[in-house]
Amino acid sequence: MKSIIIIGCAPCWEEDFENFKILVDEFDVMAIGADCPYGGAIQYFATYHFVDIPIYKMRRKNANCNLDFKVICHKNQLASGEKLDVDIVELHKTPSGSSSLLGAAAAIHLGYKNIVLCGCPMEGDNKNKITPYNTFQIGWASRLSEIKNYVRSMSGYTKEILGRPTKEWLGI
């Protein structure tokens, strides 16, 4: 199975992505959150915020990007019974590690063995959001034992606790 990269919206996402492409040129892509700036083809979109789903789909449609991706969220139905446009449910675990940890957990359940975070440092400014990125570090730390064999990161706190991907880890 190919590697998968998870692209968040931190300012370092593009540098992380370019540095990852030096290691490998064939991979699947998972976009995280409605404000994910990546405009290439994706296979998955993950978010804890179900209100992001139609916003993100509209942005991609308006930008003539692919729309044939699977949506991952922590639920597929509202308390009112209204169904959400969700293909894969990855249940919420406390404490949260943000939508990027939701995506990483889903990628593991989908069978990916090499999952790489780009633009998901879990530190620095979280523009337009109330919750600072470092608040989510506790979620990553609490689930470290279940993800450490499968997930690496290109930057920040997540790189410090998970390590950076290497050619050996990627099996290249």
The fraction of the chain above a pLDDT of 90, given in percent, is 79
In tens, the pLDDT along 64-110 reads: 999 999 999 999 988 899 899 999 999 988 898 899 999 999 999 99
Look at residue 160 in the predicted model and tell me its pLDDT: 97
Q: Record the tokens describing residue 14, joined without a space.
A: 């593009």
Q: What is the mean pLDDT of residues 28-33?
A: 97
CATH number at residue 157: 3.90.1480.10
Provide the 10 A C-beta neighbour count for residue 65.
Answer: 17
Q: In whole numbers, what is the pLDDT of the chain averaged over residues?
A: 93
Q: Are 117 and 151 in contact (CB under 8 A)?
A: yes
Number of domains in the chain: 1
Find, among 93, 92, 95, 117, the residue nearest to 104 by Cα: 117
In the predicted model, is pLDDT for residue 46 greater than 60? yes
Q: Give the pLDDT confidence score for residue 125 in this predicted structure.
A: 64
Q: Is 122 left (phi over 0), alpha (psi -120 to 50) or beta?
A: left
Nearest C-alpha neighbor of 83 from the set 61, 105, 106, 50: 50
Q: Which residues constitute the domain of residue 161?
A: 3-170
Q: Which helix (H) or strand (E) holds 70?
A: strand 70-73
pLDDT tens digits for range 135-162:
788 889 999 999 999 999 999 999 999 9
Identify the pLDDT of residue 123: 86
pLDDT at 97: 85
Largest CA distance in the chain: 49
Reply yes or no: is the peptide bond before residue 37 cis, omega within 30 of 0: no
Q: How confident is the model at residue 36 (pLDDT cuts 50, 70, 90)?
A: very high
Beta bridge partner(s), residue 7: 31, 118
Handedness of CA 121, 122, 123, 128 (dihedral sign): positive
